Amino acid sequence: MRAYLVDIIAVGFFAIEWLVYSITLEHTAYGKNGLSARMNRFREAWVRQMLDREARMVDMQIMASLQNGTAFFASTSLFAIGGALALLRATNDALAVLGALPIDITPTPALWEIKCVGLILIFIYAFFKFAWSYRLFNYVAILFGAMPPASQRDTAEARAHVMRTTRLFESAGAHFNRGQRAFFFALGYLGWFVSPWVLFVTTAAVVIVTWRRQFASNAWKAMDVQP
């Protein structure tokens, strides 16, 4: 157990950082100022403006592009799972390559397989998030099709339809963001294949990069432009 203590601490640090970052982004007042939260407000504005348009072909085309992007990431997740499974099956070959390096970073076969299983689980989680997001985008497309005509935009049903569509739209976006976040943290997780100390560094790097994109990037600043 002592031999693996640093590995256990490193993986725990990885999991805690991912969890804390996700909670902060999605469930705190600070996260409501992030890029994703700001985009949610424009989702609602988009749905409301649909009520003023009789012709909504452009809206459906934009929705189709969102669905296609989500489907691409879901497919990519399956390829990533297959690659991780291949890595798991090639344990002996991988350890032989690591053993030939001038620096001894060769783990035990059991530890290598644990690392591979962890990577597989991350990509499985990402696949489920992208697949569910794709399904939700399909539902949103159906709600777009059921949008009341412009002549009924001031009715209670129209206002209720806007809100239910917006909430489902936000949920689809949230699950897509969680899938992408899993991809980002999977890149950080790869540091563990080198060393638990590298995992500390790569995890911190992923958190810093993703935080900056949400709260300090040019895209975030662009969304802060006031009329």
Domain-by-domain residue ranges, the chain? 2-220
Q: Does residue 131 register a pLDDT over 70?
A: yes
Altogether, the residues listed in the chain come to a count of 227
Using CA atoms, how far apart are residues 181 and 224, in angstroms rounded to an integer? 23
Provide φ and ψ at 29, rounded to 5°. -65, -35
pLDDT in tens, 140-150: 999 988 888 88
pLDDT in tens, 197-222: 999 999 999 999 999 999 999 888 88
pTM: 0.90
pLDDT: is 122 or 107 the higher one? 122
Residue 96 one-letter amino acid: A
The whole-number pLDDT of residue 55 equals 78
Provide φ and ψ at 105, rounded to 5°. -125, 20
Alpha helix segments (H runs only) across 146-224: 156-189, 196-215, 218-222
